[in-house]
Amino acid sequence: MGESLKTDLPVVNLGRYELRTIVKEDYLDYYEIGSDEQTVKHLNWGPFTKPREALWCIEEIFLKRPLNGLPAGYAIVDKENDYKMIGMIDFHTYYDGINTAEIGYILNRSYWNRGIMKLCLKQMTRIGFELLELDKILVGHTLGNQASKQVIIQCGYHYEYQSLIKIKNHECIAMYYSLYRYEYERK
**Domain limits of the chain?**
12-134
SS3 5: coil
- Between the alpha carbon of residue 107 and those of residues 36, 104, 164, the distances in Å are 11, 11, 24
Residues of the chain with pLDDT under 70: 1-5, 42-46
CA–CA dist 98, 40 (Å, integer): 30
Q: List the one residue out of 151, 15, 11, 19 whose CA is nearest residue 76.
A: 19
- Between the alpha carbon of residue 41 and those of residues 19, 24, 36, 106, 142, the distances in Å are 24, 24, 9, 11, 10
**pTM of the complete model beyond 0.85:** yes
For the beta carbon of residue 142, count every other beta carbon within 10 angstroms: 17
Contact indicator for 157, 179 with CB cutoff of 8 Å: yes
Q: How many Cα atoms within 13 Å fall on the side-chain side of residue 60?
A: 6
Q: What secondary structure does DSSP assign to 91-102, as a single string?
A: EEEEEGGGTEEE
Contact indicator for 16, 68 with CB cutoff of 8 Å: no
Contact indicator for 176, 160 with CB cutoff of 8 Å: yes
Tell which CATH classification among 3.40.50.300, 3.30.420.10, 3.30.70.920, 3.40.630.30 matches the domain 12-134: 3.40.630.30
pLDDT for 73: 92
pLDDT for 45: 67
